[in-house]
């Protein structure tokens, strides 16, 4: 059995909320990720730090973007009425898992399988 109407609705709202949060994060990170000013007298080490931080911010942004794609897909699936089913084995995904990551397309078994490869 899949999710009840109420559960789907609740998770749908959660998806929209997470989506908004991530969009906000992405917006903030664009504003704060100006190029490192190498002309500043900050010394070599802090320059490396600054570049490292920038790389981290970039990785973060990419993770957010990937999550956003999953959320969009999940919202789409929600409309089609197949939300909450694993995209690989089509078994219902554990509700607790969906509450933690409502955008997840796979059940825990399939996710573990995929990560194990």
Quick check: 86 binds Zn ion (CB under 5 A)? yes
Using the minimum distance from each CB to Zn ion, give the nearer residue, 55 or 73. Answer: 73
Q: What distances in angstroms separate CA 92 from CA 33, 56, 81, 83, 108, one per listed residue?
A: 40, 35, 13, 9, 10
Using the minimum distance from each CB to Zn ion, give the nearer residue, 7 or 109. Answer: 109
Quick check: 107 binds Zn ion (CB under 5 A)? yes
**Among positions 89, 99, 113, 114, the unique one binding Zn ion when judged by CB under 5 A:** 89
Quick check: 78 binds Zn ion (CB under 5 A)? no
Residue 89 CB, nearest distance to Zn ion (Å)? 3
Quick check: 85 binds Zn ion (CB under 5 A)? no
Quick check: 88 binds Zn ion (CB under 5 A)? yes
Burial status of residue 14 (CB atoms within 10 A of its CB: 0-12, 13-18, 19 or more): middle
Could you write out the three-class secondary structure of 35-104?
CCCCCCCCHHHHHHHHHHHHHHHHHHHHHHHHHHHHHHHHHHHHHHCCCCECCCCCCECCHHHHHHCCCC
Using the minimum distance from each CB to Zn ion, give the nearer residue, 61 or 101. Answer: 101
**What is the contact surface with Zn ion in residues (CB under 5 A)?**
86, 88-89, 107, 110
């Amino acid at each position: 059995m899949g999710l009840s109407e109420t559960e789907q609705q609740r998770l749908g709202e959660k998806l929209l909320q997470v989506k908004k949060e991530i969009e906000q994060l992405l917006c903030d990170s664009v504003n704060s990720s100006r190029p490192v000013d190498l002309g500043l007298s900050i010394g070599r080490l802090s320059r490396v730090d600054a570049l490292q931080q920038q790389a981290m911010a970039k990785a973060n942004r990419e993770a957010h973007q990937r999550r956003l794609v999953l959320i969009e897909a999940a919202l789409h699936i929600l409309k089609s009425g197949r939300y909450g089913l694993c995209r690989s084995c089509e078994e219902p995904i554990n509700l607790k898992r969906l509450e933690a990551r409502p955008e997840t397309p796979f059940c825990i078994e399939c996710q573990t399988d995929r990560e194990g490869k």
